[in-house]
Amino acid sequence: MTAKREQPVHGALDYEELERLGIRPDAVYDLSVNSNPYGPSPSVRPALAQVPIELYPDRVCLELRRTIQTYELAHTALPVDALLCGNGTTELIWAIARAFLAAGKKAALLGPTFGEYSAASYAAGATLCEYRTHASELFELDMGAATSWLIQERPALLWLCNPNNPTGTWLNRQSLSSLVEVCQSIGTCLVVDEAYWRFLVPQEAFSALEFVDASSPFPLLVLRSLTKDCALAGVRLGYVVGPAEVLERVRAHLPSWSVNAYAQAAGIAALADRVHLTTTLHALSRERDAFFQALIEQGLRIIPSRTHFCLIAVGDARAVRQRLLSRGILVRDCSSFGLPQYIRVATPQRDVWQYTLHVLGEVL
């Protein structure tokens, strides 16, 4: 009998938990998710109102992919065939796992990191190996040791979250180039998840997209999420960039019409509104700096992060999460990442983080 594996743990409101605790969802400030706290473009809701719900959605998301190509891939020479959309990056992660992993194959992680990678790998029948970074080294990756480990393990697939969730660490062009070179040499599919790329502070021009060659058979795939920076979590939308031949392998493991018409319309409207995206991300960067500095001044130990979220050492993360929730603040207990002494908080708007600081001071 196959052992039952636990479901990945995520942030966001757990409505059953709130009902059990007698807490109204609208009474909770949610710092447990890493999305844009300023919400979606004001053009999204009118676009949703125009969706013809009596018609099937475009099964290949052609207009959405062209919009992504225009606004997200303009600095590259990648064609529209180098894009595949999914019902959030999680669906794409699971499809990639089914396409490249199976019983007898090995997946590799640079951890601690997002839980869906291991869940999807196990579900595909693969075994898992992990190179783990540590808090004592601020979760920075020793690239020499990591590449040697990869050569020794020779996995079929390597999952890389960059910038990483939950640590907020970032691998630059030189480091990522080393990983690409090693993966090419040992025949490892490299999946770079850039769900939080737009949240980098300071922002970076470099992206793993630079390494994608649409005509190459090397399976280098780059994931992007529109649920985070465009604040579209409710409709679930993400995409993957890679060689067309490789994407066809992934597409074979997606159901028809996996991206519904509402998600496509929302994505097109959100991507076209560059003013809202730019303005809110700049505002978030300023609030992030102020919030992190206030946490430090309050005497809290935070792990340096390149993103708008960070880890805070609190001792017993599970207990602290519950105490904060009873006061109307939801944070991410990082026990599921193997970090039971840390919570993760994402920067909210100013009035919320100021209240959070006050409550944290009382709880801790």
Mean pLDDT of 98-114: 98
Contact 171, 141 (CB under 8 A): yes
Is residue 244 very low, low, confident or very high in pLDDT (cuts 50, 70, 90)? very high
Q: What is the structure's pLDDT at 5?
A: 66
Mean pLDDT of the chain, nearest integer? 96
Instruction: Kindly state the percentage of the chain with pLDDT values over 70.
Output: 98
| Assigned fold of 44-273 | Aspartate Aminotransferase; domain 2 (3.40.640)
Q: Which CATH architecture has domain 15-40+275-363?
A: Alpha-Beta Complex (3.90)
* Gap between the Cα atoms of 347 and 353, Å rounded: 7
2 has pLDDT over 60: no
Is residue 7 very low, low, confident or very high in pLDDT (cuts 50, 70, 90)? confident
Mean pLDDT of 339-350: 98
Strands 106-111 and 127-132: parallel
Q: Which residues contact 137 (CB under 8 A, 6 or more apart)?
A: none
Q: Where are the domains of the chain?
A: 15-40+275-363, 44-273
Mean pLDDT of 61-71: 98
pTM, whole model, 2 decimals? Answer: 0.96
Structure tokens at 226: 């529109």
Is residue 3 very low, low, confident or very high in pLDDT (cuts 50, 70, 90)? very low
Neighbours of 217 (CB within 10 A): 8
**Quick one: how far is CA 313 from the chain centroid?**
22
156 has pLDDT over 60: yes
Q: Pick the closest to residue 85 from 317, 261, 211 (CA basis).
A: 261
Q: How confident is the model over 285-333, as pLDDT tens digits? A: 999 999 999 999 999 999 999 999 999 999 999 999 999 999 999 999 9
